[in-house]
Structure 1
Amino acid sequence: MIAIAGTIGTGLFLGTSKSLAQGGPASILIAYSIVGFVVYVTLLLLGEMATQYPVAGSFNAYAHRFFSPSYSFALSYNYWFNDAVSVASDLIAAQILLQFWTTRYPWVISLVSWVFLVGVNATDVGAYGELEYWLASLKVATIVVFIVIGIVVNVGGNTSHEYIGGKNWRVGDAPFVGDFGGFAHVFITASFAYGGTESLGITAGETKNPSKNMPRVVKAVFWRILIFYVLSVLIIGLNVPYNYPGLSTKSTATSPFTIIFEMAGSRVAGSFVNTVIITTVLSGGNHALFAGTRVLYSLAVTKPVAHAPKIFAWTTKGGVPLPALLATSSISVLCFGSSYIGNGQLWSWLQNIVGVSNQIAWLSIGLASWRFRKAWIVQGRPIEELKFNARWTWPWGPYFVMISVSAIILIQGWSSVFPKFSAVDFVSLYLEIPMMIVMWFGWIAVRRLAKAKRVTCLDNTPLERGINGILDIIDLRTIDLTSDEYQDSTEDDDEEALRQKRMSQGGWRFLWRIYYLAA
């Protein structure tokens, strides 16, 4: 359920309004499909590493192990910043959704939500898990109902009793709006919407029987992307015109989901789904706050030298890293600046920052996979020894991810430069790239200083000479490919045997097949 919750949030429920208004129905469908395919290939690559080495830290740990410790340091802080800003963007999204009923005191819902989320995460991990389970279940049910209602609305089951079909693809400038700039900018909102999918790998260290379950989960992502995202944006583009009043402005935005439910019946139906979407805001904020807190905690307990102040390693008796929680949640005070800037505008800027951060994470997964696969070949290990091998992605998969994500990062900022340069939009789209570079080379400098003083070299990894030494890149020949490899246990074999027995024998086998497919 955490994996599902990470892939459905305000990016889909609310971000599609901005995508549709800026790019039109064809742009949103194409961009979400392209990014969805990139994400699917990325997760297959991550699945290979996570199945072979189900360790805590996921792609951050793989970037450290197979590419560069200093780059991993920068990547970890980038991901923490991503989670912290995500909390702020979710709280602002709550203000935007509240405007469906009233425009008075929008900051109240952000304050109440912030206190609630911090309280839940400060209690214990069980409270977080219980809340996330039920909110994630509600999201999935909402998506399924939306798809059914959307089809009914399109064929005439709406308040106007009118067959819509593809009419909205021919309204005004549709299907492509805003020329190339409008199309390019949809990629950032799509990346924001798909953010969190990489959390499938983060759970590998706590997954039961990962050598069997991780490949199943990763392969199932294809259908989640196809049903939850591509089918949803297709229905949105068919039913809602890109020039719908108030769809997306600097001060407000309306969820296409709410609009379509209103088209199906009454404002009561719209109010109901708007309430449901607010719960997804809580779920998204809950997920981001939990993940960001754990990332900052892990930085503080890194051996032999901590990557964050030791205070963030302190936990309560219940095991909650309270200082890390408060530091992560403090970033969300950004949401209270929305009353001066405009909810829609500030949310758009934060959406840009989070979207680029997601793209950096995917690029890093491709980079780590490329190095992992090269090391596997250089050290003479046969491909057959991989516990999960996405064969159809060999050998082009990592190159495809790195090149396509890099291209998207460069292209999506087109509208911030042409036809008129927007400094704020440009900074929100490209801020994290120089930040990553500064932190990467800054940590290299710190490690060199430690080595010069003959202190224990940070990260316990040597600094090579030449270009590898300058960039702090690990030598492929010395990468340890044996430690932390998962070894199947007797319990794993027994569980797999029980699964196969349930699915092939007895009168309940059909129901067991459905259960395992859903689970």
Structure 2
Amino acid sequence: MTVGSQLADASPNYGATNLEHGDAELSPERPKDRRKLHRGLSTRQVSMIAIAGTIGTGLFLGTGRSLAQGGPASMLICYGIVGFIVYVTLLLLGEMATQYPVAGSFNAYATRFFSPSYGFALSWNYWFNDAVSVASDLTAAQLVIQYWTTWNPWIISLIFWLFLVGINASHVKAYGELEYWLSSLKVATVIVFIVLGVFVNLGLNREHEFIGAKYWHIPGAPFVGGFGGFARVFVTASFAFGGTESLGVTAGETKNPSKNMPRVVKFVFWRILLFYILSIGLIGLNVPWNYPGLSNRTTTTSPFTIVFKEAGSNIAASFMNTVILTSVLSAGNHALFAGTRVLYGLSVSEPAAQAPELFSHTTEGGVPLAALLATSSVSVLCFGTSFIGSGELWGWLQNVVGVSNQIAWLSIGLASWRFRKAWVQQGRSFEELKFRATWTWPWGPPFVIIAVTALILIQGWSSVIPKFSPVDFLSFYIELPVMIIMGLGWFFLKRSPSHLRHGHLVSEAALSSSTPLLPPQSQPQKSSFSDIVDIETVDLYRDEYHDDDPEDAVEDEERKARLTGQWRWLWSFYYWIV
């Protein structure tokens, strides 16, 4: 079994700066050896991490809420639309993450190619998204436990919280291996569900009757709640598909990213989309939208458990519920890992850190422990279920996380748009791109920006019409003014003492130095009322990954030998599976 290696000291793109293109050395306050993560995630693990971030509580529990609020047709259409948007977004992110596999991922790209103040607000927003996701998953654990007992389910959340913190406090290999096997269990379960769902629909159920599309024609179906119900499903779909963008977060700890990231981007999402569309179609056929206890203030029942129960076996239903519980654990593990890395990325961002230096410190195993503890501390939100219903709280958290996911996708579109313009404007060849999603040029970024903006504006329809619901409205839109306030705050804080240069904020002392940072003809012209990065001068060479790691070369040769040798067909099948 292949596991990753530690990041080599010679690697110019992680934990160190690239002096070849004029970056300054690390400051004494930030020792170089205290800022490294380890490249310990293999392709096998990164692929499963992508699946783990999406096939989780959003699919197993969120689909029940979507079905109850919007009906089977709304659910199928909305998940299909969001799935396509996310697929294009993933391709755009793949281009940048393969070229620049750095800490912070799309947050760093938004800062570097679009706007430092926007990147600051985005990074903190996404960190909060991951931290709240952990709380959401721990709350979901309480909902799952209610299938068996209502006795103090918060104890399970506390046990899960301690376990997740312990795993993430060890080496990244431990996180990757746990995620791989939990995700493998989820994938196998979804496959079994798809097969079983077909048989249940055909008559292998408690009533021994052919169901067909009967539940699409009951009162209220197939579109429940009119346009408001349809629009509301978008945010639950966004919650469900959230996590694919964290592929970029793992890029900094992925072996041989110039080869492995494109492989992951090209193949993983189609598998996820296949699982989602088939599963959602079967849920809409086999579970009525008004099934008792499907989704209400106090509880949410997984449609997966309902289908297994309809197959006539309470034991099978309990097994399915157990698998859902492990998926909750996996999703929380994934969110805690991503949130920790985002906070670490904020603390080591160049040239000005956007989080306290404390969060840049790592253990011997390459774990940013302080960032981990800060991220996990937000999870105490899950214990708010002592005062309000678990179903109600989980719904609110789901809205907040779903909107945050959409903001992340919008930001990837903005960063990609500026990155591509800079690449063309500065005359760099497309052949230099280590991965290029050719069919998305040039329409990909504007499509993502427009489509996601429309989703954000439309999905809160039901919170305003026919009756205004302040709590629901806040859960849909509270992040927008917070983003604006944080962005403006960072801009005005940094505008006076510094100016933007090469996508960096450079101090007044450096500007007054007799040694120019750039040739006069390359000096960016910047408005004092904007910190939008100048695409003509942004440094497109800094942090580029160079294929000069000896271990990467060994892995490439080994893979090539396997795929051209005597057992090449068997190895091809193996790589497709893992």
**Which residue does the alignment assign to 1:279?**
326
**Which residue does the alignment assign to 2:471?**
424
Amino acid at match of 1:46: L
**Equivalences for residues 108-507 of structure 1 within 5 A:** 108-451=155-498, 454=508, 465-466=526-527, 469-489=528-548, 495-496=555-556, 498-506=558-566
Check whether the contact 1:67–1:474 (CA below 8 A) recurs between aligned residues. yes
CA distance, structure 1, for counterparts of residue 557 and residue 346 of structure 2:
39
Give the paired residue count. Answer: 514
User: Which secondary structure state, in structure 1, belongs to the residue aligned with residue 218 of structure 2?
Assistant: coil
CA distance, structure 2, for counterparts of residue 318 and residue 52 of structure 1:
26
TM-fit CA distance, 1:52: 2.0
User: Which secondary structure state, in structure 1, belongs to the residue aligned with residue 536 of structure 2?
Assistant: helix
Assess, with a 3 A threshold, how the Cα gap between structure 1 residues 347 and 455 changes in structure 2: closer, same or farther.
farther
The Cα offsets for residues 369-388 of structure 1, whole Å up to 9 and x where unpaired, read as 10011111211223333222
Check whether the contact 1:40–1:221 (CA below 8 A) recurs between aligned residues. no
Assess, with a 3 A threshold, how the Cα gap between structure 1 residues 305 and 380 changes in structure 2: closer, same or farther.
closer
CA distance, structure 2, for counterparts of residue 361 and residue 471 of structure 1:
21
> What is the TM-score with the length of structure 2 in the denominator?
0.85
Structure with more of its chain in helix, by fraction: 1
Give % identity: 69
1:74 partnered with 2:134? no
**Which residue does the alignment assign to 2:151?**
104
Check whether the contact 1:464–1:473 (CA below 8 A) recurs between aligned residues. no
Assess, with a 3 A threshold, how the Cα gap between structure 1 residues 310 and 428 changes in structure 2: closer, same or farther.
same
CA distance, structure 1, for counterparts of residue 544 and residue 163 of structure 2:
40
TM-fit CA distance, 1:44: 0.8
Check whether the contact 2:347–2:355 (CA below 8 A) recurs between aligned residues. yes
Assess, with a 3 A threshold, how the Cα gap between structure 1 residues 110 and 153 changes in structure 2: closer, same or farther.
same
CA distance, structure 2, for counterparts of residue 501 and residue 322 of structure 1:
40
1:513 partnered with 2:572? yes
User: Which secondary structure state, in structure 1, belongs to the residue aligned with residue 147 of structure 2?
Assistant: coil
Gaps of 5+ in 2: 1-47, 500-506, 512-516
CA distance, structure 2, for counterparts of residue 111 and residue 31 of structure 1:
34
TM-fit CA distance, 1:140: 1.1
- Higher deviation after alignment, 167-176 or 28-37: 167-176
**Which residue does the alignment assign to 1:88?**
135
The Cα offsets for residues 313-356 of structure 1, whole Å up to 9 and x where unpaired, read as 34445443333222211211111111211101110000011001
Gaps of 5+ in 1: none
CA distance, structure 1, for counterparts of residue 192 and residue 299 of structure 2:
26
Amino acid at match of 1:465: K
Assess, with a 3 A threshold, how the Cα gap between structure 1 residues 435 and 455 changes in structure 2: closer, same or farther.
farther
CA distance, structure 2, for counterparts of residue 126 and residue 207 of structure 1:
11
CA distance, structure 1, for counterparts of residue 524 and residue 461 of structure 2:
38
Assess, with a 3 A threshold, how the Cα gap between structure 1 residues 488 and 138 changes in structure 2: closer, same or farther.
same
TM-fit CA distance, 1:62: 1.1
The Cα offsets for residues 423-481 of structure 1, whole Å up to 9 and x where unpaired, read as 01111111111111111111111112333994669xx9999533xx4231111110112
The Cα offsets for residues 467-508 of structure 1, whole Å up to 9 and x where unpaired, read as xx42311111101122223333485566445434433441x2
Assess, with a 3 A threshold, how the Cα gap between structure 1 residues 106 and 470 changes in structure 2: closer, same or farther.
same
**Alignment RMSD (CA, Å):** 2.1
Please list every run of at least 4 consecutive aligned residues from structure 1 whose deviation after the TM superposition is greater than 6 angstroms. 460-463
CA distance, structure 2, for counterparts of residue 211 and residue 108 of structure 1:
43
Check whether the contact 2:524–2:537 (CA below 8 A) recurs between aligned residues. no
TM-fit CA distance, 1:119: 2.4
CA distance, structure 2, for counterparts of residue 154 and residue 78 of structure 1:
42
